[in-house]
Structures are given as structure tokens and as C-alpha cells.
């Protein structure tokens, strides 16, 4: 894909070993893109067992992979739910690289006690999910959108949403509402930013085999989920999402904006 080499990308939520953010960051690196990696600074005692066994170091490990691929990397602890921290992230990105071209809003709230009926959903869980997923995407898009406009050379924002924002399943109200909100934010912003040659799109992953799904055992329950939900017969990987991110940022994707693409093996047909 053309138009990537020499550019600068920011990828939030990039520190997990089994994830979507890590493959996005390393795919950018292989394409010659410098990468700013953000993570929440989670303590090592909260790492899953496979990360502990591998000696994983969160965004520091991903930064090493980016550099091994021949690209520059800047790893920063940052909270997307804090607008001041986001403004500081913009400043540090520009201080280091002098420009920014692609923003990938990948950071997301972990699955947890929010997966209950609305009548049982705590106010704290509602705000936790909204603060990271929707508000964080807004803060990042607002701050970096201003930087892209001032730079005057176009660019692309890619928001990682979910098919949950279209399927709207029960017991996922906070998560599904946050992702539907991301899709609305994407569409509105695309219509505003087109005059500046800035494209804004969303990707809606389906079932991706990452740490986020570790509450489902990778045995019979996992296979049943695949058999009943995914026509192509396999769970997705972070690489499947990374390929779509790079396409939307590339010259080949330069006439696409305002879209929310399902990348899900056929699980959802909603548009």
C-alpha cells in the first residue's frame, strides 16, 4: 500500500501481547511508519500469565518490536479518558516527530462487571466504559484533529469500534452504547473534516482472539461461539484488524471516509 512510508501514527491501547493494538503498531512499522504507542501503565501483577511467562513489558515490548522492524517508536503512558493527558500526548508527539498523520483510537475498557442487564448496571461501570471508549475517542479525535488541521497535509483517524454497536446484544448496554456512539462520532466528524482532506473511519471487529476474551475458555465454549456466530468458521486475529487500519490510512483508501466497517468473519451484516 502506498502513502505510508515516512508518516507518523499514534496507536492507543498498544501494550498487550495478545491484542489488536500490538499488530496495528507492528504493521505500521513494517510499512515504514514511526509509531507513538500509548498504554495505561498497568502494574505487572495485573498481567495475564502468558505475559508474565514471556517477560512482557507492555508498551516497552511493543516499542522494541517496532524498532526491530526498522521504524522509530515513542512509548508513553497516557490516559485517553483524561483530556489534559491527551493534550500532553499531542504535544509530546509533535515535539518528537514534528508531525502526525494517522490516529488509531484503539484503547478500550476491559470486559467486566458491566456485562449485566441495564437495571443491574452500576453507575460506576457505566461511566468507566463510557469514559474510556467514547469520551476517550472524542478527546483524542478532537485534540489530534486540531493538530491535523493546523498541519494542513490531510491525514486519517481510525476508530476501533465493535459489531456490538450494531448488533446491540443484551447485557452489553454500556459497551454497545459506547461503540454505537463511536460510530456516530466517526460519521459526524468525517463530514466536518473532509474539507481538510482528513478521513475519519471506524472498524467494527467481531470475535477476536485476544486477552479481552479470556473470560471464555478456549475449549468447547469457544468453539460453540465460533460455530454459532462466525460464518467463516474462525475467530479473527489482531492482524485482520491491522490490515484494514493500514488500508484506510493508505493512498488506496484515500476516497473512503465516514464508514464503519465490519471485520468479523460474517457475523454482522448491518451497515
Q: What does the pLDDT read at residue 223?
A: 96
Which of the residues are catalytic?
175
Calculate mean pLDDT across residues 35-47: 94
The model's pTM:
0.96
Calculate mean pLDDT across residues 180-193: 98
Q: What does the pLDDT read at residue 193?
A: 98
Q: What does the pLDDT read at residue 215?
A: 87
Calculate mean pLDDT across residues 22-48: 96
According to DSSP, the residues that pair with 77 across neighbouring strands are 39
Instruction: Please report, for the chain, how many H helices and E strands are present, in that order.
Output: 10, 7
Summarised one tens digit per residue, pLDDT across range 136-172 is 999 999 999 999 999 999 999 999 999 999 999 999 9
Q: What does the pLDDT read at residue 93?
A: 98
The domains of the chain, with CATH numbers, are 8-263 (3.40.50.720)
> What does the DSSP assignment read for 75-126?
EEE--TT-HHHHHHHHHHHHHHHS---EEEE---PPSSTT-S-GGG--HHHH
Q: How confident is the model at residue 111 (pLDDT cuts 50, 70, 90)?
A: confident
Q: Is 3 left (phi over 0), alpha (psi -120 to 50) or beta?
A: left
Summarised one tens digit per residue, pLDDT across range 50-107 is 999 999 999 999 999 999 999 999 999 999 999 999 999 999 999 999 999 999 999 9
Is a pLDDT exceeding 90 seen at residue 202? yes
Summarised one tens digit per residue, pLDDT across range 203-261 is 999 999 999 899 899 999 999 999 999 999 999 999 999 999 999 999 999 999 999 99
According to DSSP, the residues that pair with 10 across neighbouring strands are 36, 103
Burial of residue 79 (CB within 10 Å: 0-12, 13-18, 19+) is buried
Amino acid at each position: 500500500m502506498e502513502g505510508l512510508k515516512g508518516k507518523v501514527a499514534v496507536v492507543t491501547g498498544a501494550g498487550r501481547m495478545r491484542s489488536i493494538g500490538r499488530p496495528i503498531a507492528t504493521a505500521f512499522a513494517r510499512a515504514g511508519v514511526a509509531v507513538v504507542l500509548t498504554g495505561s501503565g498497568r502494574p505487572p501483577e495485573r498481567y495475564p500469565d502468558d505475559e508474565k511467562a514471556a517477560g512482557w513489558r507492555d508498551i516497552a515490548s511493543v516499542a522494541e518490536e517496532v524498532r526491530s522492524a526498522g521504524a522509530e517508536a515513542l512509548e508513553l503512558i497516557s490516559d485517553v479518558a483524561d483530556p489534559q493527558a491527551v493534550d500532553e500526548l499531542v504535544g509530546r508527539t509533535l515535539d518528537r516527530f514534528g508531525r502526525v498523520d494517522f490516529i488509531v483510537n484503539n484503547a478500550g475498557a476491559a470486559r467486566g462487571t458491566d456485562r449485566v442487564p441495564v437495571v443491574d448496571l452500576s453507575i460506576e461501570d457505566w461511566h468507566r466504559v463510557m469514559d474510556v471508549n467514547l469520551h476517550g475517542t472524542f478527546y483524542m479525535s478532537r485534540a489530534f484533529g486540531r493538530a491535523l488541521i493546523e498541519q494542513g497535509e490531510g491525514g486519517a483517524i481510525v476508530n476501533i469500534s465493535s459489531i456490538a454497536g450494531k448488533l446491540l446484544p443484551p447485557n452489553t448496554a454500556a459497551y454497545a452504547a459506547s461503540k454505537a456512539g463511536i460510530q456516530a462520532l466517526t460519521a459526524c466528524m468525517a463530514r466536518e473534516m473532509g474539507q481538510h482532506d482528513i478521513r475519519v473511519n471506524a472498524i467494527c471487529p467481531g470475535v477476536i482472539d485476544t486477552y479481552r476474551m479470556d473470560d471464555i475458555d478456549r475449549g468447547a465454549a469457544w468453539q460453540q461461539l465460533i460455530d454459532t456466530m462466525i460464518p467463516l468458521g474462525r475467530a479473527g486475529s489482531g492482524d485482520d484488524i491491522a490490515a484494514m487500519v493500514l488500508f484506510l490510512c493508505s493512498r488506496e483508501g484515500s476516497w473512503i471516509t465516514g464508514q464503519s466497517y465490519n471485520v468479523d468473519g460474517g457475523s454482522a451484516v448491518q451497515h
